[in-house]
Structure 1
Amino acid sequence: MTEATSDYARPTALPEALALLAAGPRTVLAGGTDLYPATQAQRLAGPLLDITALDGLAGITAGPDGLRIGAGTTWTALAEADLPPALVALQQAARLVGGRQIQNAGTLGGNLCNASPAADGVPPLLVLGAEVELASVRGVRRLPLERFVLGVRKTALAADELLTAVHIPAAALAGRSAFVKLGARAYLVISIAMVAVRIVAERGQVVEAALAVGACSAVARRLPAVEAALVGAPLSEVAARITEAEVAAALSPIADIRGTADYRLEAACVLLRRAVTQALPVEEPA
Structure 2
Amino acid sequence: MGIYHRPDKLKDALALLEAERVIIAAGCTDLFAATEAQELGSGSGDVVLDVTALSELQGIQKVAKGWRIGAAATWSDLVAASLPPAFDMLKQAARQVGGIQVQNAGTLVGNICNASPAADGVPPLLALDAEVELLRPGGIRRVALRDFVTGPRQTARENDEIVSALLVPEGSISGHSAFEKLGSRSHLVISIAMVAACLEVSDGQVTGAAVAVGACSPVAARLSALETALIGVVVDDIEDVVGEAQISAALSPISDVRGSAEYRFEAVPELVRRALRSAAEAAGCSI
RMSD: 1.5
State the TM-score, normalizing by the size of structure 1.
0.94
SS in 2 for 1:181: strand
The answer as to 2:31 corresponding to 1:35 is: yes
Would the aligned equivalents of 1:36 and 1:44 in 2 still touch at CA under 8 Å? Answer: no
Q: What per-residue deviation string (whole Å, max 9, x for no partner) do you get for residues 52-105 of structure 1?
A: 211221111112301011011000010111110000000001100000000000
Would the aligned equivalents of 2:218 and 2:252 in 1 still touch at CA under 8 Å? Answer: no
Query: Structure 1 residue aligned with 2:285, among 262, 283, 286?
Result: 283
Would the aligned equivalents of 2:151 and 2:218 in 1 still touch at CA under 8 Å? Answer: yes
Residue 50 (structure 1) aligns with: 50
SS in 2 for 1:282: coil
Segment drifting more, 204-213 vs 185-194: 185-194
SS in 2 for 1:86: helix
Q: 1:124 is aligned with what amino acid?
A: P
State the TM-score, normalizing by the size of structure 2.
0.94
Alignment of 1:110-259 (within 5 A): 110-259=110-259
Within 2, Cα distance between the matches of 1:250 and 1:35?
A: 29
Would the aligned equivalents of 2:24 and 2:49 in 1 still touch at CA under 8 Å? Answer: yes
Residue 261 (structure 1) aligns with: 261
Residues 1:270 and 1:33: Cα distance change in structure 2 (over 3 Å): same
Residue 8 (structure 2) aligns with: 12
Q: 1:41 is aligned with what amino acid?
A: Q
SS in 2 for 1:238: helix
Q: What per-residue deviation string (whole Å, max 9, x for no partner) do you get for residues 152-178 of structure 1?
A: 000000000000000110011101011
SS in 1 for 2:119: coil
* Unmatched segments (≥5 aa) in structure 2: none
* Unmatched segments (≥5 aa) in structure 1: none
SS in 2 for 1:207: strand
Q: What per-residue deviation string (whole Å, max 9, x for no partner) do you get for residues 24-50 of structure 1?
A: 211011111012334563554321111
SS in 2 for 1:36: helix
Within 1, Cα distance between the matches of 2:170 and 2:205?
A: 22
